Amino acid sequence: MLIDMSRLLYFTLLSSLLACASLAQTPQAPQKKGSMVLDINKFLPPPEPKVETPPKPAPEKIIEEETPQQRFRRIKEQAESGVAQSQYELGLFYAQDFERLVPLDYFEAIAWLQKAADKNHRMAHLHLSRFYESGRGMQSKNPDEAIKRRHASALLGCKQSQRWMTQHHLAAFHRSKTIAGATGEEEAHLIEAYAWACVTAEKTLVPRDGLNTRTAEEISAGHALTERDYGFERAAMGAAEQDRDSIAKYPGFTRKLSDDAKLRAVALGKEVREYQKANRPR
């Protein structure tokens, strides 16, 4: 009797163990909606977005600065191909006005400046006038041709030449005062000097961020200025304001002279614009 009870207890315990083992190996069904089991992922912070590393920029190409000799060769090649600006700059090289890279040669300088002047280069006319004035590279001095070149340069918009026209007429005004009965000529020179001073002072020079920074507007308008020329042109434009005001302060500058001078300034400004329109840079 005791043995039968032990066997029964033994088989009951064994059945329970086998049932537990079978239950452990059976996959559990998914949790039904509303289950009380906590989902821990809901309480974790969202994963950080993946940041892509930008590609490394390609190394900048190093541009070697042009040497003066290389620049001269480039300008000479362009001048020989017919570029007016390069013809003008080549003339300056031979004149040794700014740089001394080649032997001084006034004949070569004049020849290249003349080629640029033929293409209505205002600064080439200015420098040619100096050769005619000094007689260098010429058979003799030619003051009349020098004035003609300055006048052409002034009409083309060169501020230095325009201011020179002011000074030229002021000098003639003071000379005429010493000649008896030259009152009419005296007044005419004073009016012309005032008119040129007004034209020179007009802000027609294209502004630059830097002396050597040529703008697209300046290039499209014609022959762009060198750094040195731009500085001289800007200085002449500023000085013209003082010239104009000095003439206005002159004791003999009557109301009638003032009115006539202002009318002449308007007419001269129109003449300059029409001349530039008819003689565009080439």
Split at pLDDT 50, 70, 90, the class of 151 is very high
Indicate whether 7 pLDDT > 80: no
* Residues 239 and 174 grouped into a single domain: yes
Q: Is residue 171 part of a domain?
A: yes
* Residues 192 and 275 grouped into a single domain: yes
* Residues 261 and 206 grouped into a single domain: yes
Residue ranges making up the domain that contains 117: 67-156
What is d(CA 242, CA 197) in angstroms, rounded to the nearest whole number?
A: 9
Q: Please give the tally of structural domains in the chain.
A: 2
Domain CATH for 115: 1.25.40.10
Summarize the confidence of residues 149-157 as an average pLDDT: 97
- Top-confidence residue, 43 or 250: 250
* Residues 163 and 262 grouped into a single domain: yes
Split at pLDDT 50, 70, 90, the class of 2 is very low
pLDDT of residue 264: 98
pLDDT of residue 25: 53
- pLDDT tens profile 8-55: 555 565 566 555 555 555 555 555 555 555 565 655 566 666 666 666
Using the 3D structure, point to which of 115, 131, 156 is the last residue of a domain.
156
* Residues 179 and 109 grouped into a single domain: no
- pLDDT tens profile 167-205: 999 999 988 776 655 556 789 999 999 999 999 999 998
* Residues 76 and 187 grouped into a single domain: no
Q: Is residue 257 part of a domain?
A: yes
- pLDDT tens profile 109-142: 999 999 999 999 999 999 999 999 999 999 899 9
pLDDT of residue 96: 87
Indicate whether 102 pLDDT > 80: yes
* Residues 179 and 261 grouped into a single domain: yes
* Residues 151 and 165 grouped into a single domain: no
Indicate whether 61 pLDDT > 70: no
pTM score of the predicted model: 0.74
- pLDDT tens profile 201-226: 999 988 887 777 777 777 777 788 98
pLDDT of residue 73: 94
